[in-house]
Structure 1
Amino acid sequence: MQPEPTTGLRHRTVEVPAGRLHLVEQGTGPLVLLVHGFPESWYSWRRQLPALAAAGYRAVAIDVRGYGRSSKPAATEAYRMLDLVEDNAAVVRALGEERAVVVGHDWGSNIAAVSALLHPETFRAVGLLSVPYAPPGGPRPTDVFGPIGGPEQEFYVSYFQEPGRAEAEIEPDVRGWLAGFFAALSGDTLPAPDQADPHFVARGGQLRDRFPDGPLPAWLSEDDLDVYAAEFERTGLTGALNRYRNMDRDWEDLASHRGVPIKQPSLFIGGALDASTTWMSDAIEAYPTTLPGLSASHILEACGHWIQQERPDEVNGLLTDWLATLAD
């Protein structure tokens, strides 16, 4: 099986605060900016670009700073949320546009949400995939994640905090690690409820110790996996992991926005088998307060974390239907 067709896709780089940001675009019309999560790239939107273009939109998927062909600043603090938001705003300007709809998945969902929160004049609507919106605030993130798991295991977010630690696990076998990570969070290959949770690391162990040992998820071909692996084998994982290493900085940077809702039109799509959806069910229940402009919240049955790749036709339909309700 070959990777998804790339006919009609236009690759380019634009100037942003990070240096240069690589993006892929297709179609003409109102701008829809697509922001990926960890550990992905613009390629995670390969099935949305042609669908959005066919529906009359200018669909643009970026490589977030530190990923793919975008600039990779050396400093850990260069990956704080405020900087990624400014990258998004700069992309809109570089494309000659004044406003855009921003749609994000996983970490991209958080980045999209804060982009809409801080720049409502630029981002007229926001779509959130997999990770619900929770307004800034609450306790310091590392204080929350540290105790999760107890003395016998460590939450993956805490495991990612120390520079070089996760890299030492992943980078000797990027392709194998990605295959396991994707499978661990996919609806058709995730571990059974009675098996060890892959979101945790046994003390002294590695995250991959709990990845399923079996076939790739149905949505991921060997060639698709090659695309992802080739990018991370070239760039390493530090830029991607630095997003996790800025969570406390984000908490401080966004202190003045604690509890602030996003008022623009919004959409949420989650997977019923995704821990991001189940762990953050309280955030979804709070949407009438935190997302007063919410058009709809959809939970896709039997779907895991990689929602726009696992269920592209459903996600494309929900996105295009929602976009059609928005004023240009």
Structure 2
Amino acid sequence: MSQQATDATHRLVSSPAGRIHLVEQGTGPLVLLVHGFPESWYSWRHQLPVLAAAGYRAVAIDVRGYGRSSKPADAAAYRMLDLVEDNASVVHALGERSAVIVGHDWGSTIAANSALVRPDVFHAVGLLSVPYAPRGGPRPSEIFARMGGDDEFYVSYFQELGRAEAEIEPDVRGWLAGFYAALSADTMPAPSAPDPHFVSRGETLRDRFPAGRLPGWLSEDELDVYAGEFERTGMSGALSRYRNMDRDWEDLAEFDGTPITQPSLFIGGSLDASTSWMADAINAYPTTMPGLLSSHILDGCGHWIQQERRDEVNQLLIDWLTALPTASA
């Protein structure tokens, strides 16, 4: 496969989680890459060699609960502040004082909060797919409970320990294939079909997934890599991120309404629900991200943005990194 991290180095470093597994390629200023759900470091396989070739030290982690990183048993161990400290620990374990941080999906939210809570470590932040929205408003669980009418929003569905695991773990590979396809531009259901972000009462999330075809960005071999990780670790560590949203709301109270002031980047997909649902957050960037240097919505792109449109995303990342102030480069 082209543009793969074939000569990258795998390492384990100490963190508050116990250990964080990372994959590293290149030398130069550190760029820390943080994946989302349900993925791993592997979702950055197309970015690692490109960033390395451009003169950066590109490092993609397995977030705690994923891959070869530690998987604490307590669901409360996956709160946002813990993940922020994991990221800071990785930077220091690599012998660096600061880094650019880039995240996708949940990784975007983790990256944004890393920049917010630890500006001493993270001097620039790139957000893919999920926009930054400052902490505020009602508890997240109250918001999600009001969504969907008679249907249940997927975030609410993920809350109960063991419930989503019982759906996913008997056929991890098949579930992942359907989930990836449901949010990809070339395989997502038609707008008239039931929304795959919601669950009908008494049914499962996968009942609304498309079947029979992988998205164009995902080969059978690549799906095997993703599935193999979750078949080994189970899903509870990954799902625990969703189970801490109310705890995060409490933990981050002092940052209510706080903007991110570091130089920043946003890239979204026009067909991604995260972009449409959070359009107000994107429109508020002049206030909430006053350091924004570059913002892009990729026409006809779904959720898995750095895999669906890897060449465009790679170029946008390089252009942004090159444009960072000298002290941040």
> What is the TM-score of this pair, normalised by structure 1?
0.98
Q: Distance in 2 between matches of 1:104 and 1:136?
A: 18
Q: Distance in 2 between matches of 1:316 and 1:281?
A: 24
What's the counterpart of residue 80 of structure 2? 81
Verify the 8 A CA contact 2:172 2:227 in the aligned structure 1.
yes
Q: Distance in 2 between matches of 1:230 and 1:314?
A: 28
Q: Distance in 1 between matches of 2:293 and 2:4?
A: 32
Amino acid at match of 1:257: F
Residues 1:50 and 2:44 aligned together: no
Q: Distance in 2 between matches of 1:121 and 1:229?
A: 36
Equivalent residue runs for 1:189-200 within 5 Å = 189-200=187-198
Q: Secondary structure at the match of 2:59?
A: strand
Residues 1:100 and 2:99 aligned together: yes
Q: Distance in 1 between matches of 2:58 and 2:2?
A: 19
Instruction: Report sequence identity in percent.
Output: 76
Shift of 1:121: 1.1
Over aligned residue pairs, what C-alpha RMSD do you find?
A: 0.9
Equivalent residue runs for 1:1-328 within 5 Å = 5-150=4-149, 152-326=150-324, 327=326, 328=329
The runs of 4+ residues in structure 1 deviating greater than 3 Å are: 2-6
Q: Deviations over 1:138-169 (max 9, x none)?
A: 1100000012111x210000000000000000
Q: Distance in 2 between matches of 1:206 and 1:309?
A: 27
Amino acid at match of 1:52: L
Q: Distance in 1 between matches of 2:291 and 2:67?
A: 33
Amino acid at match of 1:217: P
Q: Distance in 2 between matches of 1:119 and 1:139?
A: 25
Q: Distance in 2 between matches of 1:90 and 1:110?
A: 18
Shift of 1:3: 8.9
Q: Deviations over 1:222-246 (max 9, x none)?
A: 0000000000000000000000000
Shift of 1:34: 0.0
> What is the TM-score of this pair, normalised by structure 2?
0.98
Verify the 8 A CA contact 1:3 1:221 in the aligned structure 2.
no
Q: Secondary structure at the match of 1:73?
A: coil
* Pairs aligned (count): 326
Q: Secondary structure at the match of 1:137?
A: coil
Q: Deviations over 1:299-326 (max 9, x none)?
A: 0001000000000000000000000011
Q: Distance in 2 between matches of 1:59 and 1:303?
A: 24
Structure 1 regions of 5+ residues with no counterpart?
Answer: none
